[in-house]
Chain A
C-alpha cells in the first residue's frame, strides 16, 4: 500500500465535501477518480497531499512516500520572475542531467530558459509534470491535468504520463472528466460524488447502475466524441 484513506470526512467551512471515503492505492497502479463537478475530486487529492485537514478519519502514507503533484491550474504572479529551469529546481536542486532528462520525458526539452509566465497552457502543464518527475515520486497525482488542452494536446499528455509511469514505475492517481481516456488507460476507477459511489475495474464500473445514473448524459456525449476522435486520427495516420 502506498497511500490509503480510512473513513475520511472533510468539511470546507460548513459544507460536507467528502463523506466516509475509503480508498487505497498500490504500488505501480493507475487509478482514476471521476465524478461530476463539485463532487469533491480535487478536495480528495488535496487531502491526500495534506493540503486540507480531514474533519475525521485519516490519510495514511507509506513511510518516506515521495509525491509528485500536478495541480489543475497554476497561476504565477507576474511580480515573481521565474525561469522554467529555476521553477523545476524547487524545492530540490537537480543536476543538469536530471533536469534535461525530466524535460525530455515530459516533452518540453529546450524550454528551460523561458519565463514560466510566457508558456502556453499545454507547455506549462508539461513543465509541471517534468517538475513532478524530478521529485522521483512513488506516487504521481494529477488533478484534471489536461484542462485547457485541446483534444490532441490532452491525448499527447496522457501518452506522456504512460511513458513516465513506465520509466519511474510509480503509481498514478488522476482526476479526470475525460471518461473515454479514463476507461481506456486506467487499472481502476473510483467514482465519487461526495461519497464513493462505486469503484473497481473500468469495465465493471462503467456497467454499474450508480455510474450510469451519474454519467448517463455525459456518456452519450462521450460516445459521439469517441467516434469523431477515431475519425480524426485516421486522417493523421496515427493509431490507438
Chain B
C-alpha cells in the first residue's frame, strides 16, 4: 500500500500532525510561537549545508535548528531581548541559507520544495524518517510530561519538586528541532510553525485539562492533513498550503464558537 503516493502523503501528514500537536501545546502555553518560527527559518541554512556536504537533509536541518536554539537560549538576557535575538538569527540564517544554496553548482534543487514542502513527493525513506522522528518526539514529551507541565506552569514550583526547568526547556528545544527537521518535506519550513500553533490554539476553548488539549490538537491536525490532502487533489492546489488553510479555517470556526459561548456565559451571569 506504500506504493501509492497518496497513501504515503497521507501517512506523512498524519505523522507530522501527531508529533506537532503536543509540542504545539507547549509552544502556545509558554508563548514560544516566535521561537518555533525562528527554528524553522534556520532550517533553510541546514538544508543548504546538507546539500553542500551531501548529508541527509534531516540531519543538516536538525543540527542547525539545535545550534540556533542553544545559541538563542544562551545569549538571551545579555543585552538583547529574546525576540530581538530570534529575529536576528532566524532571518539571517534564512538569508544565508538562500545565498548558500545559490552557490551550489551542478545540483538542481527546487527551493520551493523546501520552503513550502512537497508532500506528494514523499518516498518510503522519508516516511521512515518522519515516523521515526514523530515517535521520538512523542516519547520525549510523553516521558517528561509532568515535569514539562510543572516547569511551564511555574519554574519555582518545579525547582521545589526537584525538577530542573532548564532541563525541561532543553527537552522541548530538542523535540522542536526534530519536528522541524522531519516536517520540511511535508509542509516546508515556512509553514511548520502553523502546524505547531494553529491546532493547539484551535483546541484550547474546548478543553479543561492540558492532556485533553494535546489530544484534541492531534485530532484537529490529523483531520486537517487528510482533508487538506484530499482538497488539494480535487482542486489541484499546492498541498502544504492547502493543509494549513484547512487548520486556519478550523481555528476561525473555533474562535467564533468560543466568542459566542463566552458572551452567552457572561449574559447568564449578569441575568442571575
User: Which A residues form the contact surface with B (CB < 8 A)?
Assistant: 46, 49-51, 67-69, 71, 74, 76-77, 79-83, 86-87, 90-92, 115, 135, 141
Stretch at the interface among B85-93, B117-125, B147-155: B147-155
Asked if residues A67 and B154 are in contact (CB atoms below 8 Å), the reply is: no
- Complex: A76 Cα to B149 Cα, angstroms: 12
**Residue among B150, B154, B158, B212 making CB contact with A81, cutoff 8 Å:** B212
- Complex: A76 Cα to B150 Cα, angstroms: 11
Asked if residues B212 and A90 are in contact (CB atoms below 8 Å), the reply is: no
- Interface size on B, as a range, is 20 to 34
Q: List chain B residues, Cβ under 8 A from A92.
A: 146
Q: List 25 A-B contacts (CB under 8 A).
A: A46-B156, A46-B159, A50-B159, A51-B156, A67-B160, A68-B160, A69-B159, A69-B160, A79-B204, A80-B152, A80-B210, A81-B207, A81-B210, A81-B213, A82-B209, A82-B210, A83-B209, A86-B211, A91-B147, A91-B149, A91-B150, A91-B158, A91-B161, A91-B163, A135-B161
- Complex: A40 Cα to B29 Cα, angstroms: 30
Q: List chain B residues, Cβ under 8 A from A68.
A: 160
- B100 CB within 8 Å of chain A: no
Interface of A is mostly: loop
- B157 CB within 8 Å of chain A: yes
- B108 CB within 8 Å of chain A: no
Q: List chain A residues, Cβ under 8 A from B160.
A: 49-51, 67-69, 135, 141
A80-B29, A86-B209, A86-B210 given; A71·B153 CB < 8 A? no
- B208 CB within 8 Å of chain A: yes
Q: Which of B161, B163, B213 counts the most A-chain CB atoms under 10 A from its CB?
A: B161
- B28 CB within 8 Å of chain A: yes
Asked if residues A79 and B155 are in contact (CB atoms below 8 Å), the reply is: no
B203 — nearest CB in chain A belongs to which residue? A81
A79-B28, A80-B29, A90-B150 given; A115·B208 CB < 8 A? yes
A37 to chain B, nearest CB (A): 19
Asked if residues B150 and A83 are in contact (CB atoms below 8 Å), the reply is: no
Asked if residues A77 and B31 are in contact (CB atoms below 8 Å), the reply is: yes
A49 — nearest CB in chain B belongs to which residue? B160
Q: A83-B209, A90-B153, A92-B146 are in contact. List 7 more A-B contacts (CB 8 A).
A: A71-B154, A76-B153, A79-B29, A81-B209, A81-B212, A91-B150, A141-B160
A139 to chain B, nearest CB (A): 10
Asked if residues A91 and B146 are in contact (CB atoms below 8 Å), the reply is: yes
- Complex: A186 Cα to B14 Cα, angstroms: 59
Asked if residues A71 and B212 are in contact (CB atoms below 8 Å), the reply is: no
A87 — nearest CB in chain B belongs to which residue? B153
Q: List chain B residues, Cβ under 8 A from A49.
A: 156, 159-160
Asked if residues B155 and A51 are in contact (CB atoms below 8 Å), the reply is: yes
- Chain B, 191-227, CB within 8 A of any chain A CB: 201, 204, 207-213
Task: List the 3 closest pairs (A to B, CB-CB), nearest first.
Answer: A69-B160, A91-B146, A51-B159
- Complex: A168 Cα to B208 Cα, angstroms: 31
- Complex: A80 Cα to B149 Cα, angstroms: 10
A197 to chain B, nearest CB (A): 25
Q: List chain B residues, Cβ under 8 A from A87.
A: 153
B100 to chain A, nearest CB (A): 37
Q: List chain A residues, Cβ under 8 A from B158.
A: 91
Asked if residues A83 and B149 are in contact (CB atoms below 8 Å), the reply is: no
Q: List chain A residues, Cβ under 8 A from B157.
A: 69, 71, 74, 90
Q: Mark B6-43, 1 if CB is under 8 A from A, else 0.
A: 00000000000000000000001101000000000000
- Complex: A174 Cα to B163 Cα, angstroms: 22
**Residue among B154, B204, B208 making CB contact with A74, cutoff 8 Å:** B154
Q: List chain A residues, Cβ under 8 A from B211.
A: 86
A7 to chain B, nearest CB (A): 22
Q: List chain B residues, Cβ under 8 A from A115.
A: 208
- Complex: A155 Cα to B212 Cα, angstroms: 38
- Complex: A239 Cα to B66 Cα, angstroms: 62
Q: Which of B31, B155, B158 counts the most A-chain CB atoms under 10 A from its CB?
A: B158
- Complex: A157 Cα to B208 Cα, angstroms: 28
